[in-house]
């Protein structure tokens, strides 16, 4: 039985502010990690979180939704369109992972990029190539992505590089953009991490031409997720999403700083 219809129902409930439906789709003892925090442990708290989220993200709409499913886990990637404190429209890319139990959402993790990300020419070309690609298989995607992260995390740069397309791109709203295999591997290697611990893959959901890879230092504290896009069994795009609060980035960004321009008024 597919769980994708449940996620689609949740997206519709969020888009139309149906908070009771949001609560009903989560199991009573659900665990919810979000890029804004805090960690929630029951469905009523999740409903209240979405109620506040809808106030800060006015007219919220999930767009460009992509869904993957493997076993009891569904992965989602979407672009949020909303209005901020001063009703200025903005966009924000998010990636989510849902683990199901007994037909309801038992565990949910919501990662995000910073708002209003603009891609450079190389990243745009790589993204277009990945979106236009019509082939691929789930088995090949999972094999390629698994091999890439196993090689990279083990420090085998040559093996990891062999899994990347020549015109690949890394899109990271926090640490920057990179184009080309060498630049992508360099930026991934230079991504800051705590002084103790090592990166490890904590989750992988593969589709015909894309996959969601979850990464963490401590498995109990989700940290990052990569939405990986493939073309001809080579990785073309890696989109990096973060638990912004976990890495020390303020997730409560409001476009209100320039709403009231303060000036000193001198006497005439």
Q: Give pLDDT tens digits for 27-61.
A: 999 999 999 989 999 999 999 999 999 999 999 99
- 158 and 216 in a common domain: yes
Q: Which residue has the tokens 């015909």?
A: 208
CB distance 216 to 202 below 8 Å? yes
Note whether residue 263 is domain-resident: no
Classify strands 234-242 and 224-231 as parallel, antiparallel or unpaired: antiparallel
Note whether residue 260 is domain-resident: no
- 106 and 155 in a common domain: no
- 47 and 125 in a common domain: no
Note whether residue 262 is domain-resident: no
- Tell me which residue of 17, 49, 51 sits closest to 34, measured CA to CA: 49
CB distance 206 to 188 below 8 Å? no
Residue 7 confidence class, pLDDT cut points 50, 70, 90: very high
* Domain span at 144: 121-242
- 98 and 16 in a common domain: yes
Classify strands 104-112 and 26-34 as parallel, antiparallel or unpaired: parallel
Looking at the 3D structure of the chain, how many domains does it have?
A: 2
> Is 86's pLDDT higher than 80?
no
Note whether residue 231 is domain-resident: yes
The pLDDT > 90 percentage for the chain reads: 86
Mean pLDDT of 129-140: 93
Note whether residue 216 is domain-resident: yes
Model confidence pLDDT, tens digit, residues 184-194: 999 999 998 88
**Residues pairing with 178 in the sheet:** 170
The CATH number of the domain where 74 resides is what?
Answer: 3.10.450.50
Note whether residue 87 is domain-resident: yes
Average pLDDT of the chain is 93
Residue 59 burial (CB count, 10 A): 12
């Amino acid at each position: 039985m597919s769980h994708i219809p449940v996620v689609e129902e949740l997206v519709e409930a969020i888009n139309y502010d149906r908070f009771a439906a949001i609560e009903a789709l989560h199991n009573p003892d659900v665990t919810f990690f979000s890029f804004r925090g805090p960690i929630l442990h029951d469905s009523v708290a999740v409903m209240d979180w979405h109620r506040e989220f809808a106030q800060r993200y006015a007219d919220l709409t999930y767009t460009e939704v992509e869904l993957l499913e493997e076993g009891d886990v569904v992965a989602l990637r979407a672009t949020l369109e909303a209005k901020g404190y001063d009703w200025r429209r903005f966009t924000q890319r998010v990636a989510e992972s849902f683990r199901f139990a007994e037909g309801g959402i038992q565990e949910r993790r919501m990662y995000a990029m910073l708002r209003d990300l603009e891609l450079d020419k190389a990243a745009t070309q790589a993204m277009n190539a990945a979106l236009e690609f019509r082939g691929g298989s789930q088995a090949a995607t999972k094999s390629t992505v698994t091999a890439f992260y196993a090689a990279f995390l083990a420090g085998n740069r040559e093996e990891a590089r062999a899994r990347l397309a020549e015109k690949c791109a890394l899109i990271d709203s926090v640490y920057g953009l990179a184009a080309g295999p060498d630049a992508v591997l360099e930026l991934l290697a230079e991504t800051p991490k705590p002084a103790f611990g090592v990166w490890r893959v904590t989750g992988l959901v593969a589709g015909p031409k894309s996959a969601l890879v979850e990464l963490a230092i401590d498995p109990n504290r989700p940290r990052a997720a990569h939405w990986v896009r493939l073309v001809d069994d080579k990785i073309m795009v890696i989109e990096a999403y973060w638990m912004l609060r976990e890495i020390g980035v303020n997730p409560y960004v409001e476009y209100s700083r320039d709403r009231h321009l303060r000036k000193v008024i001198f006497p005439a």
